[in-house]
Structure 1
Amino acid sequence: MSEILVLSPGDGYAIVCGLGLGFAAIMILLSFVTNRYTNFAVSSTEEFSSASRSVRPALLACGVVSAATWAATLLNSAAVTFTYGLVGCYWYGAGSVSQIMLFTQNAIMLKRNAPGAHTFLEVIRVRWGAGLSHHVFTFMALGTNILLTGQLITGGADTVVSLTGANIYAICVLIPFTVVLYTAIGGFRATLLSDFVHTSLIMAILFAFMFCTFATNPDLGSPSKVYELLSVAAQNYPLAGNAQGSYMTFRSTDGLVFGIIVIISGITTVFADQTYWQRGVASKASTALKGYLLGGVAFMPIPWAFSTAAALALVALSASAGSDRLTNPGLTAPAAAVALMGSSGATLLLIVLFLAVTSAASAELVAVSSIIVYDIYMPYINPRATEKQVLWITHASVVGYGVFMAIIGIAFYEAGISLGWLYGLTGCMFSCIVPPVGFCIRTKIANKVGCVTGACLGFVCAIVAWIVTAKQYYGVVNVTSTGGSYPQLAGNAAGIIISFLCCAISSWLAPDNYDFDIMRRHNFSTTEEVKAAPTSAIGDEDLKDVVAAEKAIAVDAQGEPLPINNVNDVDEAQLYKDFKVSVWSTGLAFFILCIFIPAIAASVPVFSKSGFTFWVVLAFIWAVASTVVVVVGPVWESRKELAAICRAIIRDVSGKGLVKA
């Protein structure tokens, strides 16, 4: 079974075009409401790129979950669970949680040390200059975004085509088209709104799969029945490298290797992908800690619970000897949807995966446009750019990168490159960026030469290790061999380890003594330093007065100046306390999820029936808690603002006058 054509090509086009345009229309309407009835006008560069730095913790957590839940997340987690058993979906979730919580420290230190920054590359430019160091990291950041874009377009298009038989070229063009429409109009706030809709539907489909597999399906219907069928599958289709060939064991050599790859490759994604930094920029300084920690914990059940229900259900339904087994693990999620719920399941999955693609694509558009504006256009082309000029370049960048998305999707398809291969390649090529970025933004001793050298040397060593290991293991270097677990592990590990050693040793032997107060005072809206800009905590009303007064510093004869935003809503001391809390939280989460639980689970060769039932129940409980955080939470924390907007709309419609909420 290599393809699952349960829907017609017309169904595929209808979903992509109809749903895409409908979703774009909703986002455009919401953007109109935001512009008319609130003080957050999209005509502002800060509102467009960072939602005016006003995002609260629950919505930030929702955005973090959405950022981590690509179409690739659902497809890859299901594929590795089908390939390695339940250990695959666990490592996918646990490794991702560790990465997100580790990134919490970056978000806090960005607010503490560079409160006015729009991208992490700006921090590198201000600290180490606009020369080679900034060029190197800009190349790597854009390279990461391109590979991630390839993943989301490739994964989304493959799923649509596998379920409907639609034309792959048409789908690769149509997916970015609708995203560009609402992103260019609504900016990053539209991305956050799409994050909320996307995450809500993700949780809905997660529960649909869980209930169908473990409660209502006539062939399965309970954890006990699924367990019995998985035991049969282990006898008829044993997994090599797993204890007793079982799908219900943590004693899996390949599963452990995959777990290490997830952790390293995922760290690369969150450190080098501007979309994560974009959410850090958009958050309030006082809520960054809560938002990222909640988002990390809330993400866990998405790959874990979804793949437990989908992938293991597919294995259980094809457990008998001689059954029609899936030959392409990448199609596990679509095949499971069809097996469990028929064409309605395929439609539901297709809708959710499409929204996952559009949400991620919207974030990528804003992220890449921010890099183009603040790290290419302003430093090197027009350092005194006005608000109007920056907005024009931003919109042009969104449209241009949308076109590039379609091209890159078609190019990867023509090259025969799979989603899994791109996932591993991201870490192999750019894991080297993780240590120097961390050193730069967190420590005053980071040595410029050593960090830049570490990034470059790590890049070269990672590629060499990746290719050499593929040659040694498989005797040939091609897409198949370089996509293997061990070559990808070698490339990921070599890049991050070599880079870390260069950064650490050089910073120890020849430490810099950088004064972060220079960066805190820096006006990231121009190439100048704002000597008088305060960095202590002030109230919202005071903040408006300060920003209004400081605009005079950046006034340019060409037109309206860019705003200055290097003011936080909490002081530096509080942010440092938040940083220490995030360090302890990350260490504790890593110990529990990546050491303690796997060690306990691996203490038995194969899960018992009661152990598997506990696994299912725990996944369900965690999913409920996550839903409360990322679906109910954003609505609850904004209840007063939503009520005020409703009153403003009623007043406007009834002719009583327009009042901003």
Structure 2
Amino acid sequence: MSSEISSAGVTLISQGTGYGLLIGLGILFCGVILIAVKIQKAYLDEDSGTSEMFMVANRSVGTGLTASAVFSSWMWINETVFSAVFCYRFGLAGPMWYGSGLCFQIALMAALGVLAKLRVPYAHTSLEIIRLRYGKAAHVVFLVLNLCCNIFGCASMILTGSQLIHGIAGIHFVAATVLIPLGVVLYTAVGGLKATFLTDYLHTAVALILIIYFTLSILSHEAIGGLYGLYDKVTAVAADNYIPGNYQGSLLTMKSHDAIIWGLILKFGNLALVVMDTAFWQKSFATEVNATVPGYNLAAVAIFGVPWGLGTVVGLAARAIHDTPLFPTWPGEFTQGEVLSGFVMPYAIQALLGTQGVIAFFVLVFMALTSTVSSSMIAVSSILSFDLYKTYINPAASDRRIIRVSHLSVAFHAVFITGFSIVLNYGGANMTWIGYFRPILTSSGILPLILALTWSRQTRLAATWAPILGFVSGLAVWLATAKSMYGSITLATTMKECPSLYGSIAACCSPALYSLLLSAYRPSTFDWREFLRITAVTQSEPSPVTTITTTGDGTTDTTPPSPSEKTPIETATATTIETDDLVHPLDKQTLAHLARWYRIAWVTFGVLVLLTFVAWPLPLYRDYIFGRAFFAGWTTVAIAWQFFAFGAVVVYPVYDGRWEIWRGVRGVMGSVRGWLKKSK
């Protein structure tokens, strides 16, 4: 796909409206978040001018806000726009497999996050854990993998968003690419991770309201006629919408070869996007002790309803009307290029809801994009400032200097990701190709990273070389399969499902074998207490360490340091302290709570995998086409799931944070009253 992407000669909204929405929404959200950050600092004692607050939000985020932030970070354009695309391409099996490909990764991250709290209670990034355990070489390997994961993930969203905005409003894709991250830079640089939590909540609230609006409005439109009307219209045009690989070519069957292959590819790609993304680790580090597992698992369950409900209704509605005068491309053809570019949803909305609906869709795209970009910015800024600058350039950097570098890193990442997205667009990449390539590029680090926290016998040699060998294996399998199956290695053949699936499996799974073999070559056992050398960064300037000890009643006591002791961040790599003298900073009761949450997290993970991979979808993978009643029940549950998601990640966070909200409101009201008295 080139930069000459169009909407079949149809402009859905004017260019002026598009620019106004893009710039206006950026300014609005930037202003709201900056005001919220000021209120936090003034009335809630939360200062983003410290490293702990900027990178891990002082480890104080509750369950509700955690669930909302994780949900927002995971609600990419894929789950909204492209769930409709894959329903249009594969039928109702597409959104179902899309939903099942989103849950288990977040549930896995809940288990890893609480394990990190048990073993590395003061970690700031996942790379910090790798550096302390395996040294410089492995740290550099994972640093590159993490950056690639964030860069490709963020760039693919901006690329897709700019192409959609270009098609919808006629805005040049370069202008859209520049404007999308512009407003995000300021509030992310100023507010840090807590600002992204707040903006994630706002994005989630607005996006879910719009998702429910689209689902219900399209379904109830007279051209669709409700659940039974949608079923009847899709059935009536079945002969003109034959889907190769589906049972009897039907859109209304779960037996879809291409859908299940795509679902498997999606699972590997999404697993890499979570485990290899520093942002998800940082969010787990930022949570309270009792908030990690319930917050992440609440988001894992809630996210299922977005692609399932929205994709099913919009994708099938588009199939029902794409050959009618209602559709924007009529009487021309709705081309495969436009489908793969994501225009299924905006065209269906234009046909059924008009310009008002397209404007609402534009807002939804903006919500999904800026949420992704803000999360990526804070992750990359933490990597560049903490894992690169602090580690290799200026080890003696003060907390104030780290914050300054973090701010500059946010701006640098915005400029770089904008340029990279433009290069991808001119290079002919689209969302489908990137989605197939990304798991091969980033999946090789998944298992070695997990083993760094779970297996004490993984050696430095294994952690360094297993990801490299895994990537080479995945790339070789991908290209070789494309060559053997399709006769050549081109952009088109590498975008086929089977080569990408086999390459993803090789890239993800082979590092486990490499790690076992390399660890057996020169075996060693890691002492988990070594992770306690990583401590919190709490001073704005270098200052000595305070020794933390645990008293008999389970409380903590502190011993004033001597002037010769090192700064907190220097202690992370210190070797002068004996291992037996390292004491866990959390008391026994807290550790017992974390151990219980750890068990609950793995049980939840197992249940979600069993339900979404096996017990639910596989019995329906048979020679069966949905009947009217079954389809109505299926879609009703999918829509109800959207309302559950709204309650879980929009309503509940307000209740969970009601006391902090009330403190902030009282502080603002008191300041306003004082200002009014002073003015009088």
TM range (shorter): over 0.9
One-letter code aligned to 1:594: F
SS in 2 for 1:19: helix
Aligned residue for 2:159?
A: 154
Deviation digits for residues 51-108 of structure 1, max 9, x if unmatched? 1111111110111111111123322222111111111111111111011111111111
TM-score by length of 1: 0.92
Aligned residue for 1:31?
A: 37
Aligned residue for 1:182?
A: 187
Aligned residue for 2:3?
A: none
Aligned residue for 1:101?
A: 107
Aligned residue for 1:141?
A: 146
One-letter code aligned to 1:492: S
Contact 2:536 2:568 survives alignment (8 Å)? no
SS in 2 for 1:218: coil
One-letter code aligned to 1:278: Q
Aligned residue for 2:355?
A: 343
Deviation digits for residues 271-328 of structure 1, max 9, x if unmatched? 1111111111111122111111101001111111111121111112236799755322
| Residue 508 (structure 1) shift | 6.2
Contact 1:462 1:493 survives alignment (8 Å)? yes
Distance in 2 of aligned mates of 1:523 and 1:170: 43
Contact 2:543 2:568 survives alignment (8 Å)? no
One-letter code aligned to 1:133: A
Deviation digits for residues 431-450 of structure 1, max 9, x if unmatched? 11111001001221223322
Deviation digits for residues 444-502 of structure 1, max 9, x if unmatched? 12233223222111101111111222222333322222122112112211101211222
Contact 1:520 1:535 survives alignment (8 Å)? no
Distance in 1 of aligned mates of 2:586 and 2:414: 33
Farther-moved stretch of structure 1 (97-106 vs 478-487): 478-487
Aligned residue for 1:333?
A: 345
1:166-177 to structure 2, matched below 5 A, reads 166-177=171-182
Farther-moved stretch of structure 1 (337-346 vs 497-506): 497-506
1:637 to 653, 656, 665: 656
Say if 1:528 and 1:608 are closer, same or farther in 2 by CA, change over 3 A: farther
| Residue 547 (structure 1) shift | 11
1:287-298 to structure 2, matched below 5 A, reads 287-298=291-302
- Check if 1:431 corresponds to 2:436: no
Distance in 1 of aligned mates of 2:552 and 2:147: 34
Contact 1:428 1:462 survives alignment (8 Å)? yes
Task: Quote the RMSD (CA, aligned, Å).
Answer: 2.9
Distance in 2 of aligned mates of 1:446 and 1:253: 38
Distance in 2 of aligned mates of 1:538 and 1:334: 62
Farther-moved stretch of structure 1 (382-391 vs 291-300): 382-391
Deviation digits for residues 193-247 of structure 1, max 9, x if unmatched? 1111111112111211221232x20111211111112123321120000001111
1:600-639 to structure 2, matched below 5 A, reads 600-639=619-658
1:513 to 491, 504, 525: 525
Deviation digits for residues 558-614 of structure 1, max 9, x if unmatched? 9xxxxxx98458633332222221111111111111111112222452111111111
Distance in 2 of aligned mates of 1:568 and 1:156: 44
Deviation digits for residues 387-433 of structure 1, max 9, x if unmatched? 11111101010111111121111111110110121122110111111
SS in 2 for 1:445: coil
Deviation digits for residues 164-220 of structure 1, max 9, x if unmatched? 011111111111111101111111111111111111112111211221232x20111
| Residue 28 (structure 1) shift | 1.1
Deviation digits for residues 233-269 of structure 1, max 9, x if unmatched? 3211200000011111111111110111011111111
5+ residue gaps in structure 2? 1-6, 571-582
1:564-603 to structure 2, matched below 5 A, reads 567-568=585-586, 571-603=590-622
Aligned residue for 1:369?
A: 381
Contact 2:547 2:558 survives alignment (8 Å)? no
One-letter code aligned to 1:457: L
Deviation digits for residues 527-576 of structure 1, max 9, x if unmatched? 9997944589999xx78x85998999555999xxxxxx984586333322
- Check if 1:458 corresponds to 2:470: yes
Farther-moved stretch of structure 1 (517-526 vs 86-95): 517-526
Contact 2:447 2:511 survives alignment (8 Å)? yes
Farther-moved stretch of structure 1 (473-482 vs 617-626): 473-482
| Residue 15 (structure 1) shift | 0.9
Contact 1:180 1:362 survives alignment (8 Å)? yes
Contact 2:309 2:642 survives alignment (8 Å)? yes
1:493-532 to structure 2, matched below 5 A, reads 493-507=505-519, 511-523=523-535, 525=537, 532=547
Aligned residue for 1:74?
A: 80
- Check if 1:223 corresponds to 2:227: yes
- Check if 1:309 corresponds to 2:336: no
- Check if 1:470 corresponds to 2:475: no
Contact 2:443 2:504 survives alignment (8 Å)? yes
Aligned residue for 1:299?
A: 303
Distance in 2 of aligned mates of 1:463 and 1:585: 33
Distance in 2 of aligned mates of 1:552 and 1:195: 43
Say if 1:601 and 1:552 are closer, same or farther in 2 by CA, change over 3 A: farther
Farther-moved stretch of structure 1 (371-380 vs 505-514): 505-514
Farther-moved stretch of structure 1 (33-42 vs 389-398): 33-42
SS in 1 for 2:507: helix
Say if 1:452 and 1:524 are closer, same or farther in 2 by CA, change over 3 A: farther
Aligned residue for 2:577?
A: none
Say if 1:75 and 1:470 are closer, same or farther in 2 by CA, change over 3 A: farther
Say if 1:320 and 1:38 are closer, same or farther in 2 by CA, change over 3 A: closer
Distance in 2 of aligned mates of 1:464 and 1:297: 36
Contact 1:274 1:367 survives alignment (8 Å)? yes
Question: Identity across aligned pairs (percent)?
Answer: 28
Say if 1:323 and 1:614 are closer, same or farther in 2 by CA, change over 3 A: farther
Say if 1:62 and 1:552 are closer, same or farther in 2 by CA, change over 3 A: farther
Distance in 2 of aligned mates of 1:489 and 1:58: 36
Distance in 2 of aligned mates of 1:259 and 1:509: 37
Farther-moved stretch of structure 1 (227-236 vs 591-600): 227-236
Distance in 1 of aligned mates of 2:9 and 2:496: 23
Distance in 1 of aligned mates of 2:544 and 2:108: 30
Between the two proteins, the alignment pairs up a number of residues equal to 648
Distance in 2 of aligned mates of 1:536 and 1:437: 34
- Check if 1:248 corresponds to 2:228: no
SS in 2 for 1:417: coil
Aligned residue for 1:448?
A: 460
Say if 1:536 and 1:630 are closer, same or farther in 2 by CA, change over 3 A: farther
Say if 1:6 and 1:517 are closer, same or farther in 2 by CA, change over 3 A: same
Farther-moved stretch of structure 1 (527-536 vs 514-523): 527-536
Distance in 1 of aligned mates of 2:290 and 2:561: 24
Contact 2:155 2:418 survives alignment (8 Å)? no
Farther-moved stretch of structure 1 (512-521 vs 47-56): 512-521
Distance in 2 of aligned mates of 1:457 and 1:306: 40
TM-score by length of 2: 0.90
Distance in 2 of aligned mates of 1:67 and 1:184: 18
One-letter code aligned to 2:74: A
Distance in 1 of aligned mates of 2:426 and 2:642: 38
SS in 2 for 1:390: helix
Contact 2:149 2:277 survives alignment (8 Å)? yes
Say if 1:323 and 1:577 are closer, same or farther in 2 by CA, change over 3 A: farther
Aligned residue for 1:62?
A: 68
One-letter code aligned to 1:433: G
Distance in 2 of aligned mates of 1:603 and 1:376: 52
Aligned residue for 1:360?
A: 372
Say if 1:551 and 1:9 are closer, same or farther in 2 by CA, change over 3 A: farther
| Residue 45 (structure 1) shift | 1.4
Contact 1:431 1:495 survives alignment (8 Å)? yes
Contact 1:285 1:568 survives alignment (8 Å)? no
